[in-house]
Amino acid sequence: MQRKEFALGDIVEMKKVHPCGTNAWKVIRMGMDIRIKCTGCGHSVLLPRSRFEKRLKKVHPNKSES
Ligand SMILES: [Zn+2]
């Protein structure tokens, strides 16, 4: 499997849709753990990088934000 590239501020889709019905998460923290925030309800979750990458489906790079 190809390694997915993602960066701070990117919008990502996960394999599982959030209970609020939105499947667009914003990467708000990078490190050993990744923090993503649901763009629908504002809920944020912290995931270990390996688990995040396993659940990641698609990345929409956001180059306008740094
Ligand atoms: Zn949500």
Reported as a single tens digit per residue, the pLDDT across 29-39 is 999 999 999 99
* Per-chain residues with Cβ under 5 A from ion ligand 1: 18, 20, 22, 38, 40-41, 43
8 and 62 in contact (C-beta within 8 Å)? no
Residue type, 47: L
**Residue 45: beta bridge partners?**
36
Ligand 1: distance of its center to the CA of 64 in Å? 23
Q: How far apart are CA 39 and CA 3, in angstroms?
A: 24
Distance 21 CA to ligand 1 centre (A): 7
Residue 42 CA to ligand 1 center (angstroms) comes to 6
Q: Please give the pLDDT value at position 1.
A: 47
Say what the pLDDT of residue 64 is: 64
pTM of the model: 0.86
